[in-house]
Chains A and B, each alone.
Chain A
Amino acid sequence: DGGITQSPKYLFRKEGQNVTLSCEQNLNHDAMYWYRQDPGQGLRLIYYSQIVNDFQKGDIAEGYSVSREKKESFPLTVTSAQKNPTAFYLCASSSTVIAGQPQHFGDGTRLSIL
């Protein structure tokens, strides 16, 4: 079955530590996205990628980094510079990055600070 796989489901970060969230898709989609969701709030865009080896900052990119070395994979690193990382992180993909295409989401990763 085609879909988006995020891992791990739960992640705990220690002070000063970088952590990496995995996102893999087998939908053959060109575009991939990372969102952050805080309780009672909408999804906020962290980074997006239109194509391999290219990615763009979203609205809240500070303290985060990404790579897109393969079409299927778009990992997100939460760096120690992100002082409030506790949130639900969602990876999504769409056939293209044009805003008219619907996005499909993985199951998410919950990140907390130890």
Chain B
Amino acid sequence: QKEVEQNSGPLSVPEGAIASLNCTYSDRGSQSFFWYRQYSGKSPELIMSIYSNGDKEDGRFTAQLNKASQYVSLLIRDSQPSDSATYLCAVGETGGFKTIFGAGTRLFVKA
């Protein structure tokens, strides 16, 4: 059973701080990785895709991938109360058609 593991949280950070969200996955051959944001009662929204080892930056968001350690993270700089949501890590199945989703980490940004 391929798995994606995330700390359920909640992770609480003050406004303006850096929030660090982490994810590990079991499928060693995975090549595609995604972060989604899901506000309470809403559907997931794609924030970042990352396919290569290293960092990928998009505005206040940075995704970090380490395939050797089977670890992917999301950093949110200058966190805002509007960033308070559940963040889902998702990993593409090796040679298959499925995307495996983690259960998500709840983030609270305190004003």
Contacts and interface: CB of A to CB of B under 8 A. Distances in A.
A45 B98 contact: yes
Interface stretch (A14-22, A63-71, A75-83, A102-110): A102-110
Interface string B74-99: 00000000000000100011101111
Contacts of A58: 98
Given A99-B92, A102-B49, A42 B34 contact: no
Nearest to B48: A102
A48 B34 CA distance: 19
B45 A105 contact: yes
Interface size class of B (residues with CB under 8 A): 20 to 34
- A-side interface mostly: loop
- B-side interface mostly: loop
Contacts of A42: 4, 88, 100-104
A90 B103 contact: no
A43 interface: yes
Interface string A40-55: 1111010010100000
Contacts of A101: 32
A90 B32 CA distance: 21
B84 to A, nearest CB: 17
A5 B54 CA distance: 35
Interface of A: 31, 35, 40-43, 45, 48, 50, 56, 58, 90, 97-108
